[in-house]
């Protein structure tokens, strides 16, 4: 079964593998290839007192953020230098001056030690104020140096509490430095005022804003943004989905853009061979006012209409981006027929449940971004297959045999106890 946790990892894998497969032309100087600088990303996490609220999947916002960070840290590409900064993590008092200085770098920007970073995040507990402006300034300083892409990903559950240092003005100041730094914002269970502030911060640097209601949405979106930092020069290819699979465009691994009408289905096709794995994800942006409560679904099926797997996500808000993904490993074929195996056509259907107020124009459709990748399927002998039982059917047989032997021993002991009881 494809669980939500595996789906989050799949969306990350789509973009990681996609960006890893794009070839760029190297620059040459003095006959030597120029070394590409590692992209830098800093995650800025709100640890203010309001993160205690228990409204994300039945748990506190802080617990959901920690779990999402664990998923994200597992999927960070090797070439990315990553750091973590907190805001509101240390000062629990009422002194505004001290509370508005409460931001620190939890993990330095550099080559990631996943265990060390996870351990640092695990120590956090909701504490103080929400100094977003100072945290953004600190993160911009953390990312200084070199000539590479820089990205700040801000995760918060409330608007800044340290005015008059307006975080939107701070974002504009950072943009004016000309250091190619993008700020993306994610709002946990946002209200209208918070949404407006986070949108303004993102727009000031050409970033994106996303509302988050669930842990998996958080891990999916942060992973996507990190992967974009790893390969910012990916150019999407315009395509046009069809109203049925038979007429759908044939897609190869890559990044595609399209537009989808409100409450529409659009079809695309992908061919894959036995032993390969299809990874796909889709994002739809509500680039105008929409009614609350909407969703997106990405469904993979055979050409005969049998569903293989699906991914779906729901949200609410105005100018949000909503994303989901899926993963389909096609079993390998052993024996003499392996080389003659034909490709399978997988039909991908993107559906949305957006609706708009009467005064809002619904044309053109909503912008859609679709990523497709084909990779080698799981290794039958891998440790992952062993512990996950993925292709390790032999292990299942061992467990069945062990259970059978345990039953024999238990039966023998039971009969022995009965015989002793009768003798006495």
**Which H or E element spans position 350?**
strand 344-352
Return per-residue pLDDT of the chain as tens, 424 residues: 333 443 344 434 433 333 333 333 333 333 333 447 899 999 999 999 999 999 999 999 999 999 999 999 999 999 999 999 999 999 999 999 999 999 999 999 999 999 999 999 999 999 999 999 999 999 999 999 888 889 999 999 988 988 788 999 999 898 887 777 889 999 998 888 888 899 889 888 878 888 888 888 899 889 888 888 887 655 678 899 999 999 999 999 988 989 999 999 999 999 999 989 999 999 898 877 888 889 999 999 999 999 999 999 887 664 467 888 898 998 877 655 555 668 899 999 999 999 999 988 888 888 898 999 998 876 543 333 333 333 344 444 555 566 556 666 656 665 565 455 555 5
Furthest CA-CA distance within the chain = 97
With respect to residue 387, please indicate whether it lies within any of the assigned structural domains.
no
Distance, CA of 390 to chain centre: 23
Q: Is residue 341 part of a domain?
A: yes
Residues 123 and 198 reside in one and the same domain:
yes
For residues 167 and 211, membership in a common domain is answered with: yes
Q: Is residue 141 part of a domain?
A: yes
The number of domains in the chain is 2
- 96 and 245 belong to one structural domain: no
Residue 197 sits in the same domain as residue 336:
no
Integer Cα distance of 274 and 339 in angstroms: 10
Inside any domain, residue 381: no
Give the CATH number for residue 205: 3.40.50.410
Is residue 286 within 8 Å of residue 318, measured between CB atoms? yes
CA distance 304 to 310: 16
337-368 tens-digit pLDDT: 555 668 899 999 999 999 999 988 888 888 89
Residue 47 placed within a domain: yes
**Mind giving me the DSSP string for 235-273?**
-PEE---BSSGGGPPB--SEEEEEEE-TT-EEEEEEEE-
Q: Look at residue 397 and tell me if it is in a domain.
A: no
Domain end position, chosen among 376, 393, 412: 376
In a shared domain, residues 253 and 357: yes
DSSP string, 62-86: HHHHHHHHHHHHHH--TT-EEEEEE
Q: Show which of 164, 196, 230 is a domain's final residue.
A: 230
Same domain, 220 and 330: no
Residue 423 placed within a domain: no
Q: Is residue 392 part of a domain?
A: no
The CA distance from 156 to 178, in Å, is 25
Sign of the dihedral defined by the CA atoms of residues 62, 63, 64, 66, in that order: positive
Q: Domain holding 278: CATH number?
A: 2.60.120.380
In this structure, the answer to whether residues 41 and 70 fall within a common structural domain is yes
Residues 226 and 257 in one domain: no
**Could you give phi then psi for residue 259, rounded to 5 degrees?**
-130, 135
213 with 288, same domain: the answer is no
Judge whether 37 and 79 are in contact, CB under 8 Å. no
At 235 the pLDDT is 61
Q: What are phi and psi of 414, to 5 degrees?
A: -65, -45
Contact 327, 10 (CB under 8 A): yes
Regarding whether 320 and 178 lie in a shared domain, the answer is: no
Does the reported pTM lie above 0.75? no
Q: Report pLDDT digits (tens) over 71-90.
A: 999 999 999 999 999 999 99
Final residue of a structural domain among 214, 230, 246: 230
In sequence order, what DSSP letters do the residues of 282-344 get, joined into one string?
Answer: EEEE--S---SSEEEEEEEE-TTS-EEEEEEEEE--SS-EEEEEEEEEPPP--SGGGGGPPPE
Query: Are 250 and 218 in a shared domain?
Result: no
- Kindly list the strands in the beta sheet with 181-188, ordered across the sheet, starting from the edge strand earlier in the chain: 103-111, 81-87, 40-46, 150-156, 181-188, 209-212
The domain containing residue 66 runs over which residues?
Answer: 37-230
210 and 325 in a single domain? The answer is no
């Amino acid at each position: 079964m494809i669980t939500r946790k595996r789906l989050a990892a799949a969306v990350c894998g789509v973009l990681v593998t996609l960006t890893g497969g794009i070839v760029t032309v190297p620059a040459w100087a003095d006959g030597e290839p120029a070394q590409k600088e590692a992209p830098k990303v800093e995650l800025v996490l709100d640890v203010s007192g309001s993160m205690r609220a228990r409204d994300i999947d039945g748990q506190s916002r802080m617990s959901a953020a920690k779990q999402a960070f664990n998923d994200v840290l597992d999927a960070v590409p090797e070439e990315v230098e990553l750091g973590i900064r907190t805001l509101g993590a240390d000062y629990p008092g009422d002194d505004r001056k001290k509370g508005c200085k409460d931001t620190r770098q939890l993990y330095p920007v550099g080559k990631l030690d996943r265990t060390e970073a996870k351990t640092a995040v695990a120590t956090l507990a909701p504490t103080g104020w929400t100094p977003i402006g100072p945290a953004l300034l600190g993160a911009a300083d953390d990312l200084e140096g070199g000539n590479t892409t820089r990205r700040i990903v801000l995760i918060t559950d409330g608007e800044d509490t340290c005015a008059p240092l307006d975080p939107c003005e701070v974002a504009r100041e950072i943009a004016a430095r000309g250091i190619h730094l993008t700020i993306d914002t994610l709002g946990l269970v946002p209200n209208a005022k918070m949404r407006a502030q986070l949108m303004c911060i993102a727009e000031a640097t050409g970033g994106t804003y996303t509302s988050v209601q669930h842990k998996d949405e958080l891990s999916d979106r942060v992973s996507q943004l990190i992967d974009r930092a790893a390969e910012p020069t990916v150019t999407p290819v315009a395509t046009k989905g069809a109203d049925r699979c038979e007429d759908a465009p044939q897609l190869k691994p890559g990044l595609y853009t399209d537009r989808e009408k409100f409450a529409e289905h659009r079809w695309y096709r992908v061919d894959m061979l036995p032993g390969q794995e299809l990874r796909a994800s889709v994002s739809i942006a509500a680039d105008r006012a929409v009614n609350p409560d909407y969703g997106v679904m990405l469904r993979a099926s055979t050409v005969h209409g049998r569903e293989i797997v699906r991914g779906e996500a729901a949200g609410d808000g105005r100018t949000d981006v909503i994303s989901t993904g899926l993963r389909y490993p096609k079993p390998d074929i052993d024996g003499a027929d392996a080389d003659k195996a034909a490709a399978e056509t997988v039909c991908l259907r993107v559906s949305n449940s957006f609706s708009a107020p009467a005064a809002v124009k619904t044309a053109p459709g909503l912008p859609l971004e679709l990523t497709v990748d084909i990779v080698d399927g799981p290794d039958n002998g891998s440790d992952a297959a062993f512990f996950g039982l993925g292709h390790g059917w032999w292990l299942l047989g061992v467990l069945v045999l062990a259970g059978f032997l345990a039953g024999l021993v238990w039966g023998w002991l039971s009969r022995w106890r009965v015989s002793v009881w009768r003798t006495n």
